[in-house]
Amino acid sequence: MFRWFLPTLFAVIVGLLVLLGSLLPIPTLASLRADLLSGAAVIASFAMVLAFANVLRVHFGRLVAKQAKSVHATGQRFASLILLLSAIASFVLVLLQGPEGIASQTIVEGVLIPGQSALLALTAVTLVLTGARILRTRWRASSVLFLVVALLVLWTTVGIGTPSGIGMPSGIGTPALVYPGILETVMRFVNAVATGGMRGLLLGVALGTVITGLRIIVGIDRPHSGG
Amino acid sequence: MDIVGLIVGAILTLLIFSFLLGDNALYRWALALIVGAAVGYAAAMAVRFVAQGWVARASVNDQGTTTSLTTMAPLLLGCLLLFKGFTSSRLLGRLSIVGNIPLGYLVGAGAAVSVTGALMGTIFPLALTTGNGVRIERGLLGLLQGVVILLTTIVTLLAFSTHARKRAEADVRQKASDRAGWRRALRQAGEAFVAVALGTAFAGAISSALTALVMRLWQLAALLDSVMNLTRR
Amino acid sequence: MIRCPSCGTFNHDSQRACRSCGSALPQTRRRCPECGALNPVGNLFCDRCNTRLLDAEDINQRPASDSTDDDHLSVKGISLPTRPSTPVSIAGTEIGAGQQTALPDWLAGLVDEDTEFELTEPALTGQDEVDLGQAREESASLPHWLGGGDASMPAPLPDAADVAPLPSWLAGEAKDAEASGAAAGDAEPLPDWLTDVLGPGATADEEIPAAQEAGVSLDEDALSGRLSEKPSSEALVFAESELPNWLAQAQALTSDGPGRGDVPTDRVPVEVMHTVPDHTAGEEPGESSAAVEEEALVLPDWLQEIVAEGAGVAEGAGSEQLPDWLVELSRSVDTEAQGAPPAVSASEVFLPTEDGSAPAPTPAPRAQPSPRARSSEVFEEEAAFTDAGELPVAAVPGWLSDLAPMAPGVGTPVFVGQPLTEGHAPQNVGTDALPALHEGPEQVPEWLRDMDLQASQSGPAPEPVPELGDLARAEVPAWLQELAPPGTQGDVAVEPAVVSADMLAPADIPEWVEALRPEARAEGAPPPARAIPPTPAEPEGPLEGLVGVLPAVTAVDRPVSARSTAVIGIPGTIVAQAQLWQRLLEQPRSAERSVWYGRPSDRKGSGVFRWLVSVLLVAGLFLAFWLIPDGVQLARVSPTQVAPGAQALVEGIDRLEPGDTIIMAIEYSPAYAEEMSRIAAPILAHLRSRQVGVSVVSSLPEGAGLGYALSSSVYATGGPQDAVGMTSTHTTGGDGYLAGSASGIAEYLAREEAVSADRLVVLGSEPQRLIWWLEQNALLGADALPVSIATSAGAGPLVLPYLESSWVEGWVAGLPQALAYGQIRGDGSDGDFVRVLDLLVLAHWVVAALLLVALLYTLVYACTHHRRKGAG
């Protein structure tokens, strides 16, 4: 009953009501849809709290678990301790002050933004290494095309090779500068193909989303019940 | 506060960049600090959302109560969802399956939203836009561009729709036709177009990462410059 | 992973068809329907959940290795049949598919289930001298009890499990008794003949289990000199003092041989253990002991019967006649021998001497060495019997002379492999007792018995066997004479046996036996070039074209004409896999492969390249901050080329009136905060100039905080609370946080306050969240808000189709387009912004150069190095 029947029943009913409320211009359905969606938002918040509690439980367990006395284990426990302390501290501070509080702003501007930006900056090195290895691991025409297009886009992103002489020191010439329209035409074609390819992908994804959503609403797929 | 934030940010940046020298404990500790702060921040915002929403609903309720169905039902379902965290417990582990009910609620609502959004927000607009791109009013170059976009969209969609078909049920005749020249050409063309699209996306990702790198180094340089200026004084 | 035979794509083990081309894939795993675990194809039950994988009707398709029926020859491999399909008549015994049990036990016990029988075309015609080496080769086809087996081929070895049940004293139960603490005196008494070997005080639990367990690790030297110049690797000897008289005499006779060593005293004929005759199984110890005491050798009944019948076989009864060795056997049937080997394997038959004296040196029963060595030993030891000084009057080889019936009082010979039926206790048989041979027909191997039967059926009645005394000295066949040890050949006065054809009953010798008849060869002449059937080259498969890879196995009891068409239950999956391998190996090397498996040299190069990238990007940019002069501007953008959507965005915001409200959705993570703050700055400045109210919302928890940070950085008018026009939604959701992702966005856009806004501006770096806003806004239909987007450089290409649609009024993606937006509005260039852009240009140069170098290096490497075709 609780494992799949009731959850599926909820999924089907809620899904149908939300779907009909979106498509049919009936005010009652629309307001019901709005209420159901706000309820979903509340439940999603509980899910966020549950995830937070799980993180605390896991790292607290690592902290108190009996581990071998080694440098690595000690470092790992210290990292768990730092995570616990920072999580609890930010939770308390933000809960009390809100996002506009000084402490919240300090957390955002002093910890979250620099830290996550630095992690993103690291990916620049990783992406370059990946691009350099892509041909070694997958020697195909599509890989060569992938890399060549990436080079062209990088070259023209900030106008390095455009006819207006962007970024090129004097004395260094490129074929594009000799005939300015070539590079522009090439990039236009590349952009067109890229746009078309991306549209095809997005349309495919959207079609898949529709089919999957309908299967869930009808009750064929039951991801909530593990089936 | 600015200088403090700068110093803390600079230290964190250096700790993260130490990963370039190899995985080390300092990098892990910095990562733990960032993750902990993000998780705590998100949980606090979620709690505030629920609490503020409960109060707000009560305030707009005609009866002025906080126990109406529309207010209490989501809270009850949310509490049921919390039972999902007791899967490892002997006593409460059996109750974890009751958390499937709010999960079903979430999944159903999310599926309906996704279906309508994909239909009305992606499929129709993109199809219309692709068709509208092939117009003479846009000039020869624009028309050519529109045709190219239309063809690449169709080819990409067909290539991946045939590729995603279940091969297990394909019979011999179907497999023979798959190896037919035009199907293979279609698939290869689709792969080429996707390679172009992903190549631009790859370049964009590198560009974003380089921007973050430049900004981080800019901040470090700015801090260093400030410190040098302070020392000169 | 399974490689598709058609396109070469690697697929998961559980896939049935290629995910690339759809071709059927050979199954290497079977997925359990219950738990989904992958199991080997041969599994009947799942390894994880024990669910039955195969239905009853599919059991026959299980691999042959699952068969536990030891009585049948198990299939080893796919292409090597081990059983003839058509019944093969060997001495009347049909051996065909599934009829392995037709073989007599004594012969079946000699057959190893791993032995692969393959008959070759008969190449021997006529009689000829055979040198030792050829004899070894040819003897591979003879039964082991006839001295068959070759050093170059495996002879069937009896499996201990296949022979008749051993007596407990022999089977090692005494060992168990010992382990359980049984007293030595309580152990089952050994047979006398074995007691003689071990000594009076020996018991079964002392020696036999140890020796049996030892697996025949015996002294090589003890037997090496006696047998041949080439000592066998394994030999079994008796303690001299414990040997029976006949054996002791035999050993004494051969003690002068080269390389002989002391005989260890603690050895037990393990071979005896393996090859105990069936007819002695269960035999009362007293019987054999009594027989041993009498030290008389009697011809076994089965052999006596043969001799008796063979003597009377008419000539010309058939194309098959008795071999010479068997003829000799009949002549010497009345010779007496002294003693008998207490336990002799079926492959070793000893003939007593005529006068009952010690027979020719008889090798002690030995353990089972390698079949080839063993057979060579037999020949070698038989050659030792041709010593003229020790030969009986008939000059019969020792082993052959031992077959003569013993004089009364002589110990009972014990022959391996022969069931001992009632009334057939080995008994002293003299020349008068030949008819008694017929009393135990079941002693005779069927195939041998049927030889006589067929002969008697097809030909005239056999004539009575002449008295042995009437026979001249037996003619030692030349091929047997060759086996004599050096120094003994010339001493043999061989007189041609006077045997008329009509004295013999035509034996129904199978053709394959006949084909193995040694060819006659003049003395001293070199051995003829044997028309040994060449081993054919492998016609197909991985071993195509190779010769002699597989051992040239000749079956003991398979005729030449046998063709193995036995139905071997090989599952189709294994056949398919083998076919796949064959197909892959058959493909020419020039076949194109789309996947390149070659990799340039690895670790060091990768590490160097990584260091290079890190130094150039991090250190180089850091240094460039100070190295680039202020007046130099590397980045110059052309707004119309670089930012096609910027103009529409400017125009859209310009249409806003003071007091209008816009919804600003913060949909980027803190990682993109610095980039987005630079991108959104001109837009926010534009909005501020229009004096519109901004309502900040976000589906991200950090969004509200990022919004405050953005406003503080843009407006810089103190704290966030002083930001002009920047407010947060407080009606529901409090801090502007929209929980629930797409559901939260949909719920927010359904509110009245959202619908009443004038524009929606989405600042995002996550494509999916951007798409959510666009989709949910589109659902509003006529009430849909005009949307403007500012996104990061990374998300721009992914949402480009949406940006170019009619739903979006203006967009910018990346720092260059944001700069272009400012240029369009005529804003003065921000010095820091331009500086950042210059560094960004430099970074792009470096990255593009690195990727170009990597591309060129890979191309050069691919052209200069060998490209693997991915055959494996």
Residue A74 has pLDDT above 70, yes or no: yes
Q: Rounded to whole angstroms, how far apart are CA atoms B72 and C51?
A: 47
Q: Give the model's pLDDT for residue C233.
A: 41
Q: What is the DSSP letter of A65?
A: S
Q: CB-based contacts of C468: which residues, under 8 Å, 6+ apart?
A: C331, C332, C333, C334, C335, C354, C394, C404, C431
Q: Is A224 in contact with B17 (Cβ distance < 8 A)? A: no
Q: Give the model's pLDDT for residue C552.
A: 53
**CATH for the C639-829 domain, from 3.30.1370, 3.40.50, 3.30.43, 1.10.287:** 3.40.50
Rg value, chain B, Cα: 28
Q: Give the model's pLDDT for residue A11.
A: 92
Q: Are C549 and C543 spatial neighbours (Cβ–Cβ below 8 Å)? A: yes
Tell me the C-alpha to C-alpha distance, in Å, between residue C99 and each of C93, C96, C143.
Answer: 10, 5, 19
CA-nearest residue to A95 within chain C is: C735
Q: Give the model's pLDDT for residue C267.
A: 41
Instruction: Tell me, yes or no, if B156 comes closer than 8 A to chain A by beta carbon.
Output: yes
Least confident of A70-79, B185-194, C446-455, C822-831: C446-455
Instruction: Tell me, yes or no, if C732 comes closer than 8 A to chain A by beta carbon.
Output: yes
Least confident of B191-200, C188-197, C615-624, C847-856: C188-197
Note the pLDDT tens digit of each residue in C34-67: 888 888 878 888 888 888 888 766 665 554 444 4
CA-nearest residue to C796 within chain B is: B204
Q: What is the mean pLDDT of residues A104-130?
A: 92
Note the pLDDT tens digit of each residue in C538-574: 777 777 777 766 665 555 555 555 555 556 677 788 8
Q: Rounded to whole angstroms, how far apart are CA atoms C134 and C125?
A: 14
Q: Rounded to whole angstroms, how far apart are CA atoms A191 and C396?
A: 102
- Cα angle, residue C622 at apex, residues C619 and C627 outer, rounded to 5°: 110
Q: Rounded to whole angstroms, how far apart are CA atoms C344 and C415?
A: 6
- Optimal mutation site among A119, A128, A140, interface C, most CBs of chain C within 10 A: A128
Crossing angle for the helix pair C815-825 and C673-690, nearest 10 degrees? 20
Q: Give the model's pLDDT for residue C260.
A: 41
Q: Give the model's pLDDT for residue C867.
A: 55
Q: What is the mean pLDDT of residues C635-653?
A: 75
What distance in Å separates residue C838's CA from the closest CA in chain B? 10
Q: Is C795 in contact with B129 (Cβ distance < 8 A)? A: no
Note the pLDDT tens digit of each residue in C702-749: 998 898 888 777 665 443 443 445 555 433 446 788 888 899 999 999
Instruction: Tell me, yes or no, if B65 comes closer than 8 A to chain A by beta carbon.
Output: no
Q: Give the model's pLDDT for residue C636.
A: 60
Q: Rounded to whole angstroms, how far apart are CA atoms A160 and A167?
A: 5
What distance in Å separates residue C514's CA from the closest CA in chain B? 54
Neighbour-count burial of A18, counting CB atoms closer than 10 A to its CB (0-12 exposed, 13-18 middle, 19+ buried): buried
Q: What is the mean pLDDT of residues B141-159?
A: 89
Contacts of A34 in chain B (CB under 8 A): none
Q: Nearest to residue C710, comparing CAs of C691, C699, C726, C689? A: C726
Q: Give the model's pLDDT for residue B182.
A: 79
Contacts of B28 in chain A (CB under 8 A): 75-76, 79
Q: How confident is the model at residue C140 (pLDDT cuts 50, 70, 90)?
A: very low
Q: Give the model's pLDDT for residue C326.
A: 60
Q: Give the model's pLDDT for residue C639.
A: 58
Q: CB-based contacts of C705: which residues, under 8 Å, 6+ apart?
A: A99, A104, A105, A107, A108, A112, B41
Q: Rounded to whole angstroms, how far apart are CA atoms C490 and C389?
A: 11
Contacts of C642 in chain A (CB under 8 A): 159
Residue C148 has pLDDT above 60, yes or no: no
Neighbour-count burial of C866, counting CB atoms closer than 10 A to its CB (0-12 exposed, 13-18 middle, 19+ buried): exposed
CA-nearest residue to C820 within chain A is: A158
State which of A37-51, C248-262, C409-423 shows the largest mean pLDDT.
A37-51
Residue A84 has pLDDT above 90, yes or no: yes
Q: Nearest to residue C431, comparing CAs of C358, C356, C504, C339? A: C356
Domain boundaries, chain C: 168-278+286-515, 603-630+847-864, 639-829
Q: Is C776 in contact with B117 (Cβ distance < 8 A)? A: yes
Q: Give the model's pLDDT for residue C386.
A: 41
Q: Is C795 in contact with B118 (Cβ distance < 8 A)? A: no
SS3 content of chain A, % helix, strand, coil (to 5): 80, 0, 20
State which of B192-201, C145-154, C835-844 shows the largest mean pLDDT.
B192-201
What distance in Å separates residue B129's CA from the closest CA in chain A? 10
Q: Give the model's pLDDT for residue C463.
A: 55
Mean pLDDT for chain C overall: 63
Quote the tokens at residue C109. 């016990």
Q: What is the mean pLDDT of residues B29-39?
A: 95
- Optimal mutation site among B8, B19, B45, interface C, most CBs of chain C within 10 A: B45
Q: Give the model's pLDDT for residue C242.
A: 52
Contacts of A154 in chain C (CB under 8 A): 844, 847-848, 851
Q: How confident is the model at residue C194 (pLDDT cuts 50, 70, 90)?
A: low
Instruction: Tell me, yes or no, if C670 comes closer than 8 A to chain A by beta carbon.
Output: yes
Instruction: Tell me, yes or no, if B124 comes closer than 8 A to chain A by beta carbon.
Output: no
Residue C767 has pLDDT above 60, yes or no: yes
State which of A181-185, C197-201, C304-308 shows the largest mean pLDDT.
A181-185
Q: Is A110 in contact with B219 (Cβ distance < 8 A)? A: no
Q: Is C844 in contact with A107 (Cβ distance < 8 A)? A: no
Residue C323 has pLDDT above 70, yes or no: no
Least confident of B78-82, C207-211, C769-773: C207-211
Residue C673 has pLDDT above 80, yes or no: yes
Contacts of B114 in chain C (CB under 8 A): 742
Please report the number of interchain residue pairs, chain A to chain C, with beta-carbon separation below 8 angstroms.
Answer: 193
Q: Is C737 in contact with B48 (Cβ distance < 8 A)? A: yes
Q: What is the mean pLDDT of residues A50-65?
A: 90
Q: Give the model's pLDDT for residue C55.
A: 73
Q: How confident is the model at residue C116 (pLDDT cuts 50, 70, 90)?
A: very low
Chains adjacent to B (≥3 CB pairs closer than 8 angstroms): A, C
Q: Give the model's pLDDT for residue A114.
A: 93
- Count the alpha carbons within 13 Å of C40 in the hemisphere toward its beta carbon: 9
Contacts of A207 in chain C (CB under 8 A): none
Q: Annotate C63-77 with b (16+ C-beta within 10 A) or e (fewer).
A: bbeeeeeeebbebee
Q: Is C838 helix (H, G, I), strand (E, B) or coil?
A: helix
Residue B41 has pLDDT above 90, yes or no: yes
Q: Rounded to whole angstroms, how far apart are CA atoms B195 and C684?
A: 36
Q: Annotate C124-139 with b (16+ C-beta within 10 A) or e (fewer).
A: beebbbbebebbbbbb
Mean pLDDT for chain A overall: 83
Q: Rounded to whole angstroms, how far apart are CA atoms A186 and A164?
A: 16
Contacts of B100 in chain A (CB under 8 A): 2-4, 6-7, 224-225
- Cα angle, residue C193 at apex, residues C188 and C195 outer, rounded to 5°: 50
Residue B171 has pLDDT above 60, yes or no: no
Instruction: Tell me, yes or no, if C596 comes closer than 8 A to chain A by beta carbon.
Output: yes
Task: Name residue C250's amino acid.
Answer: A
Residue C596: which of A100, A139, A195 has the nearest Cβ? A139
Q: Is A141 in contact with B49 (Cβ distance < 8 A)? A: no
Q: Are C790 and C821 spatial neighbours (Cβ–Cβ below 8 Å)? A: no
Q: Rounded to whole angstroms, how far apart are CA atoms B74 and B111?
A: 18
Tell me the C-alpha to C-alpha distance, in Å, between residue C856 and each of A131, A174, A184, C756, C866.
Answer: 13, 18, 24, 57, 17
ipTM (interface predicted TM):
0.90
Contacts of C747 in chain A (CB under 8 A): 34, 37-38, 40-41
Question: In C459-531, at which residue ranges do the beta strands (DSSP E only) sit?
Answer: none
What percent of chain C is modeled with pLDDT above 90? 7
Q: Rounded to whole angstroms, how far apart are CA atoms C797 and C184?
A: 92
Q: Is B196 in contact with A84 (Cβ distance < 8 A)? A: no
Q: What is the mean pLDDT of residues B123-133?
A: 89
Q: What is the mean pLDDT of residues B145-165?
A: 82
Q: Rounded to whole angstroms, how far apart are CA atoms B221 and C281?
A: 98
Least confident of A151-160, C37-46, C448-457, C610-619: C448-457
Q: What is the mean pLDDT of residues C797-823?
A: 87
